[in-house]
Structure 1
Amino acid sequence: MRVYLNHVIRSIPSTSALPKQIRYGSFHSRRIPLTSCRSFHGSRTLLKRQDAQPSAPTVPAQTPAKQKQPRKSSLRQVAVEAERSRAGVVMGSGKRRFIDPEVGTKIITAFCAAEQYSISTVARILEAEGYKLDPYETHLFPQVVHVQTPLFPEDTAPTSPDRFEGHGDIFVFPSGTLVAWNVPERLSLRLVEKVLKPAASNPHEVETEDLEYIERPESTTSTIIGDTILLGTKVEDVPARLIDGENGDDENPEANIALAKIAFSSGLSRSAKLGVLENLFESYFQSTKSIPTDLAKGSDLPFNRRFILSKTGELLNIRAHLNLYSELTDSLPDLLWDSKSELGLEDYFEKVGRALDVSIRIKTLNERMDYATDIATVLRERLSEKHGWTLEWYIIVLIAVELLFEGYRFVKEAEERQKEDEVRDLLKKVLANLESKR
């Protein structure tokens, strides 16, 4: 019996250990938001009941607990609110995380309309349109031109699923792309198709790439889950002396948010630029996909020298734009090389690339172009063979003509020799007759 009582007494947790167990559980358990909330309200009710008791001795004993409990409760409350805020946007865990479909998102759209933009011309045009260049003084010109659109009221499109609230941001890159954050499509298309057209070099059909984003005012860092960017917009408290002083450019919190948007925009513009090359290659492939079938059937290829040279040049042009003339294959664009490592801009750029499978698409496109190069090689070999056959026939015809001339010359010479022999015989007969008469 004594052993049993000792075991029961040891199994009862001490009251001093209970708060630690509750606090640890609220931070590590995924189901804790609801549990910690119950514990929080239960502890407040318990304190009220203890305060209501008239017993004098219990009041001093509970005074220390009443002084410490609000601090523990506030810590739990912060954790609960943070977990609730995160759970309201992000659902699931680990690699299975996804964004709650019911959460309102904003749109980022990249427009690729030209092979290149003259950035100085872009800046001059946008400034003439009334836009303020580089509003947060990121000092990344001429790698990018940043302007901000006017304020959009909440009722801009009340019946549309896409709501544009607040300012919009527009980033124009030298690669011929424009990236718009929270900007109506009609305004973006007006800029791309009309306003910036004089600055475009080799314009083409507009290629677009979309992502969604959610602003997180409770976070200073950003990330991507699925196809949605979680943009941290929390502005840390920075002393006025740092903002207005000599280090103001480095400590401007608004500029850091703009830099994060530029990093994400650079990755998105890269994907849009890659989409243009993918479409170009698809058009090329459609024009040559019947060649293997024709070769398998043993049919003659109805392609002339001009067509084959044109397709070879088209393929080489696509491959050069993918691997040589642009930053598509670079691990990091030039405008992010000098960025501060603590801002994580390189990580943002890489996350956009992973979300949009840019590296995989580049590898796949190169592999497809390898296959297309094999077809082009067959066409060139066919062209060389055809050209060789033509030369051979030319040589055969020339030899035949030469033989004809030689035959004609031989016949003419034979006839001339025959005539000479006849004349000689005739002269001999005449001379013989003359001698016989003497």
Structure 2
Amino acid sequence: MSQRTLRSPVLVSLPSFVLRLRPFSTSGDSKDAGDTLKQKPKASTPLRRTASASLPIRSNPTPTRSSIQPVLTYATAERYLPIRLRTCLPSDSQKLHDAWWVPRWGENGEVFVFGNGTFVCWGLGEEEARQFAKKVLTPCEIGSLHEAETEELEFVTDPNENTRIQGDLIILGRVAPLQDPANAVIAPPPNPSLGTATLLARYAYSQALSRSTALSALEESLDDYLSSVAQLPHSLEKTGKPGLNREALIKKLGSLMKFRQGLNLNRENFSDTPDLYWTEPELESFFKSMTGALEVQARTNAVNEKITYATEVQSTLRQLLTESSAHRMELVIIALIAVEVIIALIREGPELYRMAFGLPKEESERSLSRTH
């Protein structure tokens, strides 16, 4: 798997906001709270620019503040099948707006499962998150990814603080009452891991993280695709031929269309604001603060630009193949016409000879026989 830690230096690359990923270790590598305070970021994300803002929280614990805990986001498939989710998730799971909420998993964690092939774990370590993916979500996956994309963040709870994201740390604390009580959870479970006071705040942050990780998976797939066609312009320059047959080129164009559809046309796309937040301004601020910190819109625009460029290249190559095919077809037609002319000369030769020289039919036949 490949993983990104949301407390890491930004790589200066083109585009600079495309996040880089680090290999996902198969062995547990979670740190205790003391180690977490000392560890430097391990990968690059936009949140690294403001990571220093979380240092006062990290370095000055208070009696009301919990220990620092992880928030892990995984993208394992193109999407999850909703019908299977209902049967595979634990019995106490609930539908919560655009996600399924698992109020307790492992020792002290919870999970939000989104239909776009991602899930977000609060308070779970990597091993527990992997077990959830393996035991619960594997049967629900449609278009499983070869490598799961992950993002890592951290959070603390403190009832004396306002809920917000500070630097690269989420603080769960006071929240305003809901504008519409109908948006609350319908039937609170008896023993949730993190309580329900900040449930919708966690949901809003989770939805933003879900979009970012799904976008990371798309970015990774698009980079692989662009690498696979990177030599086509060079081949065209050196040999005058694209180096791909017509069928292979059409398949490449189909892949590009699939990328663009996944980016812009799916129900859970990367641009629209979910309906819930139109009636809940505070939740919208949580969602947009995380989306903005992860530069989802800028990354979406960058992916669209890459797809547009790749489509132009592929369209040019397709036009060249079409012209080449038309040229071959013209040669075939000319050859067929030549064969038809030869057959006609053989069949109508005597009559044409007589007509050409004005000879009677018998004399023209004798003349032709003497020539043979």
Aligned to 2:96: 140
Change (3 A) 1:282 1:423: closer
Change (3 A) 1:413 1:212: same
1:99 to 54, 78, 81: 54
- Once the 2 structures are TM-superposed, how far is the Cα of residue 404 of structure 1 from its aligned partner? 1.8
Is 1:255 the counterpart of 2:196? The answer is yes
- Number of residue pairs the alignment of both structures matches: 296
Unaligned runs of 5+ in 1: 1-93, 153-166, 239-245, 426-438
Counterpart Cα distance in 2 of 1:114 and 1:271: 14
Aligned pairs for 1:52-91 within 5 A: none
Decide whether the 8 Å contact of 2:183 with 2:276 is kept in 1: no
Aligned to 1:345: 283
Decide whether the 8 Å contact of 2:112 with 2:203 is kept in 1: yes
- Once the 2 structures are TM-superposed, how far is the Cα of residue 95 of structure 1 from its aligned partner? 7.0
Alignment TM-score, normalising by the size of structure 1: 0.60
Aligned pairs for 1:38-187 within 5 A: 98-100=53-55, 102=59, 105-128=68-91, 132-134=92-94, 140=96, 143-149=98-104, 152=107, 167-187=108-128
Decide whether the 8 Å contact of 1:118 with 1:200 is kept in 2: yes
2:166 to 225, 247, 272: 225
Q: Secondary structure at the match of 1:216?
A: strand
Structure ID, larger Rg: 1
Decide whether the 8 Å contact of 1:119 with 1:145 is kept in 2: no
Unaligned runs of 5+ in 2: 1-48, 61-66, 189-193, 368-372
Q: Secondary structure at the match of 1:362?
A: helix
Counterpart Cα distance in 2 of 1:190 and 1:151: 9
Aligned pairs for 1:192-271 within 5 A: 192-205=133-146, 206-219=148-161, 221-232=162-173, 234=174, 254-271=195-212
Q: Secondary structure at the match of 2:96?
A: coil
- Once the 2 structures are TM-superposed, how far is the Cα of residue 325 of structure 1 from its aligned partner? 1.4
- Once the 2 structures are TM-superposed, how far is the Cα of residue 218 of structure 1 from its aligned partner? 1.3
Counterpart Cα distance in 2 of 1:247 and 1:320: 30
Q: Secondary structure at the match of 1:330?
A: coil
- Once the 2 structures are TM-superposed, how far is the Cα of residue 337 of structure 1 from its aligned partner? 4.2
Decide whether the 8 Å contact of 1:119 with 1:173 is kept in 2: no
- Once the 2 structures are TM-superposed, how far is the Cα of residue 185 of structure 1 from its aligned partner? 1.4
Change (3 A) 1:218 1:391: same
Change (3 A) 1:277 1:422: closer
Decide whether the 8 Å contact of 1:149 with 1:183 is kept in 2: no
Counterpart Cα distance in 2 of 1:398 and 1:299: 28
Aligned to 1:21: none
Aligned to 1:374: 312
Is 1:312 the counterpart of 2:267? The answer is no
Counterpart AA for 1:229 = I
Decide whether the 8 Å contact of 1:291 with 1:301 is kept in 2: yes
Counterpart Cα distance in 1 of 2:183 and 2:333: 81
Q: Secondary structure at the match of 2:211?
A: helix
Decide whether the 8 Å contact of 2:271 with 2:297 is kept in 1: no
Change (3 A) 1:420 1:293: same
2:295 to 357, 368, 377: 357
- Once the 2 structures are TM-superposed, how far is the Cα of residue 151 of structure 1 from its aligned partner? 6.9
Counterpart Cα distance in 2 of 1:248 and 1:271: 25
- Higher relative contact order (Cα pairs below 8 Å, separated by 6+ residues): 2
Give the root-mean-square deviation of aligned CA atoms: 3.2
Aligned to 1:290: 231
Counterpart Cα distance in 2 of 1:355 and 1:386: 49
Q: Secondary structure at the match of 2:170?
A: strand
Structure 1 stretches of 4+ with a deviation exceeding 4 A read 94-97, 101-104, 246-250, 414-419, 422-425
Change (3 A) 1:424 1:309: closer
Decide whether the 8 Å contact of 2:51 with 2:167 is kept in 1: no
Alignment TM-score, normalising by the size of structure 2: 0.70
- Once the 2 structures are TM-superposed, how far is the Cα of residue 315 of structure 1 from its aligned partner? 0.4
- Once the 2 structures are TM-superposed, how far is the Cα of residue 386 of structure 1 from its aligned partner? 1.5
Q: Secondary structure at the match of 1:300?
A: coil
Change (3 A) 1:247 1:193: closer
Q: Secondary structure at the match of 1:313?
A: helix
- Once the 2 structures are TM-superposed, how far is the Cα of residue 247 of structure 1 from its aligned partner? 12
Decide whether the 8 Å contact of 1:168 with 1:182 is kept in 2: yes
Q: Secondary structure at the match of 2:198?
A: helix
Identity among equivalent pairs (%): 31
Change (3 A) 1:336 1:392: same
Change (3 A) 1:214 1:413: same
Q: Secondary structure at the match of 1:327?
A: coil
Q: Deviations over 1:17-37 (max 9, x none)?
A: xxxxxxxxxxxxxxxxxxxxx
Change (3 A) 1:186 1:418: farther
Q: Secondary structure at the match of 1:293?
A: helix
Change (3 A) 1:127 1:95: closer
Q: Which has the higher strand share?
A: 2
